[in-house]
Amino acid sequence: MEEMKMKVNGMVCGGCEKRVENSLTTIEGVKEVMANHSDGTVLIKADRKIDKNIIKEKIEDIGFEVKED
């Protein structure tokens, strides 16, 4: 199982977490998403390597910003 953690700006509540989780679970191969607005992170678990740009685009499409490392 592949894991990726990303910093996301703009999540302020549980509703924001749910929007991010619902959006990312539509990506083929993604098995689990855990968003945390308290620390501004999203943990993605997938059955294969997922292109970071696909995840970033999905997050930005719903109005949040991915913070680059």
**pLDDT tens-place string over residues 29-49:** 999 999 999 999 999 999 999
Mean pLDDT of 3-32: 97
pLDDT at 51 exceeding the cut of 90: yes
Mean pLDDT of 1-12: 96
Q: What is the pLDDT at residue 69?
A: 63
| 11-30 exposure pattern, b = at least 16 Cβ within 10 A, e = fewer | beeeebbebbbebbeebeeb
| β partners of residue 36 | 41
All structural domains of the chain = 2-67 (3.30.70.100)
Q: What is the pLDDT at residue 68?
A: 77
Kindly state the tokens that stand for 62: 């719903």
